[in-house]
Structure 1
Amino acid sequence: MPVFPLPAVSAFGRRTLGLAALSLLALTSAHAQEATERTQVIAVQASTAEWSDPLEALGTLRADESVTLSATVTETVAELNFDDGQRVAEGELLIRLDDSAEQAELRAAQALRREREHAVRRAQQLQDRNVGIRADVEDAQAQLAQVDAQIDGIQSLLADHRLRAPFDGTVGQRNLSVGALVTPGTELVTLDKLDHMKLDFTVPATVLDMLAPGLSLSATTPSYPTRTFRGEVTSIGTRIDPVSRSVSVRARLPNPERTLRPGMLMVVTLERNPRQTLMVPESVLVPSGERQYVMRIDRDADNRIQRHPVEIGKRRVGSVEILDGLAPGDWVVSHGMNKVRDGDHVDILALDDGSREISEILKAARDGEDG
């Protein structure tokens, strides 16, 4: 059989074939790399949490107990036993008015009582020896009782000269001095019980069926913009305002640090219909028409993405309630959703639990790769 020699290939042809082979190899490698690379995403876990339907209102703080002590007699101030903002105990003497005249009357009445006691004893002894009559004993006893009543009146008048704290509390600013003349009705000092505060506010009568004593609430005030105070409803008004169609509500806020003050304006958030519910960050939702979806991560199928429909409930800032479509513990994509499709397999860069910023998570991931 004749042998036909292969045609000779020029140097230029060999160069062209080499470049083509290299291009094919590069293209094949690129496709292989593309097939093996997986998108990195950050995930969040669906979890149950306390949830409620918030209702906001404006309220005003009042002291748990509050009183303004006033003078009931005309007299000069003899003694002041408190400083501005001092905490005092129930029964503690705060102000004493000059009572020298009343003290003199009391001493005279007490001396007269001792004399009347002796008279009663003498009359009783005479009657016991049958040399006195019963009428003399009764007259002496009546005169003694009259003196006792006089002493009681003087002691009551002396009590009006002493102003004591009716309950544990904090006194206000002192605006009088020793020697000042006061008259009945003169306001001397305020006393407030501040370890708990009353919070009064109004809400529309249309939500009356959702109100009940014990309902939780939170409150904020511009005086402490970074703090949230929590309390609960203690009572609901018995009447509806015919003009505003609102009902008054009173709540109680613990105030152990005594930072809250009577008269403060508070922004109240009532936590209606409290419940345990499933929640996820609002940013994981993928809207499509009137429906909502999430990119669920099936960890049992090598982190395969499922575009999963969900039914949502109430929303709050940054979070949304999930009524159906997810279970507690399910993972969904929170960052990188625009890079994945239904059926893709992904690598989970981190699980975002809300304790760190995304920039910190990404930096930690880069540092881990570098290491």
Structure 2
Amino acid sequence: MTPSSSRLTPRLLAALLVLLLATLLSSPPAAAQERTPVIGARATLAPWSDPLEALGTLRADESVTLSATVTDIVAEVNFRDGQVVEAGQLLIRLEDAEQQAQLRAAQALRDERRATVDRLAQLQSRNLAPRADVEDARARLRQVEAEIQGLEARLRNYRLRAPFDGVVGFRNISLGSLVTPGTELVTLDKVDVMKLDFSVPEVFLALLEPGLPLTARSVAFPDERFEGHVESVGSRVDPVSRSVSVRAELANPERRLRPGMLMEVIVQRSPREAVVVPESVLVPSGDRQYVLVIDEDDQNRVERREVKVGERRTGQVEILEGIEAEELLVAHGVQRVQPRDQVTLLGVADADTSVPEILEASRGERD
């Protein structure tokens, strides 16, 4: 060894040692390098049911077409197209001057006969009038009172009032129009509650009962779901279609639903509380289903667990056995994780936090 090389050896060793320490300090531990980033999802306890789909038609809770029962001229029209009216509100009045005059004459005759009865009753109490005269006067009074009741009943035919709260249809008559018995004057529908009629196959008859919840959707309001319940189930099965008719009720406080609309119906059969997970957590293997459970108390170590799957919805699955509510599962990244691996949890996807938001936040932290 030359003198120059012996002097350089300590310096070279020191440089190599410094370089090795810097490399060790700057490199993450091997375990950290092996951790796979994943996005998790929690199993939740949520309302669940077995959906039964059908098509139905809406009907008003109450519906009537008011028609004329007498022949006369329209004297008043007290509504506008589509107006909301109350029960008892006067909608149309027909000309009734002649009938009013007949009523006034009968009322005057009643007053006269009532006075006669009172006068004869006083005389009879003093034995100054026969009892038979008093009875005859009372009979004539009852006769005129009956005539008044008949006139008042006929007068009601000249006034068309709303039989219930509702919405009137188009006004198709004008003042001065001559109407005859049977002439349709106005329609009235009670639409704050709607009836929904639909049919289901008879195979589901045993599962149908009043009170079952349901949701309905219309193409007119594609982003909305209308809640209701089964009101009654038909007493007969159609021998041709082998289906049974079902009637449901839907609340319609804003009166947006209209009679005659076609509705897509989903009846919630067998309502229950169930453990629900996103469909993305399932790992199929043959005819079995597994999930990857993240043990938060063991440094996010993953456990592979078999589960029993129930009904499915779009993007969601009912779990009958295998996991409990609130357990944390691998939802995205399942193909890169093995049992007993420790993972890096980027976030938990739920109703308030989406997968793109979690990925964007994770990318921002790395930058």
Q: When the two structures are superposed, what TM-score results if normalisation uses the length of structure 2?
A: 0.90
Q: Select 1:79's aligned residue among 69, 76, 87.
A: 76
Q: Select 2:132's aligned residue among 135, 139, 145.
A: 135
Q: Aligned with 1:234: secondary structure?
A: strand
Q: How far apart in 2 are the matches of 1:36 and 1:360?
A: 24
Q: Is 2:104 aligned against 1:107?
A: yes
Q: How far apart in 2 are the matches of 1:86 and 1:103?
A: 29
Residue number in structure 2 paired with 1:205 = 202
Taking structure 1 as reference, are residues 259 and 354 closer, same or farther at Cα in structure 2, changes over 3 Å only?
same
Greater Cα shift, 298-307 or 258-267: 298-307
Q: Aligned with 2:189: secondary structure?
A: strand
Q: How far apart in 2 are the matches of 1:336 and 1:298?
A: 16
Residue number in structure 1 paired with 2:193 = 196
Q: Aligned with 2:211: secondary structure?
A: coil
Q: Aligned with 1:263: secondary structure?
A: coil
Residue number in structure 2 paired with 1:230 = 227
Q: How far apart in 2 are the matches of 1:32 and 1:154?
A: 102
Q: Aligned with 1:148: secondary structure?
A: helix
Q: How far apart in 2 are the matches of 1:220 and 1:171?
A: 25
Q: When the two structures are superposed, what TM-score results if normalisation uses the length of structure 1?
A: 0.89
Q: How far apart in 2 are the matches of 1:32 and 1:366?
A: 19
Identity of aligned residues (%): 58
Q: Where does 1:1-371 land on structure 2 (aligned, <5 Å)?
A: 35-37=31-33, 38-370=35-367
Q: How far apart in 1 are the matches of 2:309 and 2:115?
A: 92
Taking structure 1 as reference, are residues 274 and 139 closer, same or farther at Cα in structure 2, changes over 3 Å only?
same
Over aligned residues, Cα RMSD in angstroms?
Answer: 2.5
Residues 52-102 of structure 1 show CA distances to partners (whole Å, capped at 9, x for unaligned) of 000001111111111111111011110111111111111111111100110
Residue 341 of structure 1: how far off its partner (Å): 1.7
Q: How far apart in 2 are the matches of 1:43 and 1:354?
A: 13
Taking structure 1 as reference, are residues 33 and 176 closer, same or farther at Cα in structure 2, changes over 3 Å only?
same
Taking structure 1 as reference, are residues 294 and 128 closer, same or farther at Cα in structure 2, changes over 3 Å only?
closer
Greater Cα shift, 43-52 or 305-314: 305-314
Residues 159-185 of structure 1 show CA distances to partners (whole Å, capped at 9, x for unaligned) of 110111111112111111111111111
Q: Aligned with 1:163: secondary structure?
A: strand
Q: Aligned with 2:146: secondary structure?
A: helix
Residue 201 of structure 1: how far off its partner (Å): 0.9
Taking structure 1 as reference, are residues 138 and 32 closer, same or farther at Cα in structure 2, changes over 3 Å only?
closer
Q: How far apart in 2 are the matches of 1:99 and 1:363?
A: 78
Taking structure 1 as reference, are residues 126 and 31 closer, same or farther at Cα in structure 2, changes over 3 Å only?
closer
Q: How far apart in 1 are the matches of 2:341 and 2:333?
A: 12
Q: How far apart in 1 are the matches of 2:76 and 2:32?
A: 90
Greater Cα shift, 31-40 or 198-207: 31-40
Greater Cα shift, 289-298 or 116-125: 116-125
Structure 1 gap ranges (5+): none
Q: Aligned with 1:262: secondary structure?
A: coil
Task: Report how many residues are paired.
Answer: 355
Q: How far apart in 2 are the matches of 1:349 and 1:230?
A: 37
Runs of 4+ in 1 over 6 A off after TM superposition: 28-32
Q: How far apart in 2 are the matches of 1:308 and 1:107?
A: 91
Taking structure 1 as reference, are residues 138 and 358 closer, same or farther at Cα in structure 2, changes over 3 Å only?
same
Q: How far apart in 1 are the matches of 2:76 and 2:306?
A: 77
1:191 counterpart letter in structure 2: L
1:57 counterpart letter in structure 2: A
Q: How far apart in 2 are the matches of 1:78 and 1:120?
A: 39
Greater Cα shift, 205-214 or 34-43: 34-43
Q: How far apart in 2 are the matches of 1:81 and 1:325?
A: 67
Q: How far apart in 2 are the matches of 1:311 and 1:122?
A: 95
Structure 2 gap ranges (5+): none
Q: Aligned with 1:276: secondary structure?
A: strand
Residue 232 of structure 1: how far off its partner (Å): 0.8
Q: Aligned with 1:268: secondary structure?
A: strand
Residue 340 of structure 1: how far off its partner (Å): 1.8
Q: How far apart in 2 are the matches of 1:213 and 1:325?
A: 34
Q: Aligned with 1:342: secondary structure?
A: coil
Q: How far apart in 2 are the matches of 1:331 and 1:95?
A: 67
1:230 counterpart letter in structure 2: E
Residue 259 of structure 1: how far off its partner (Å): 1.1
Q: How far apart in 1 are the matches of 2:131 and 2:162?
A: 48
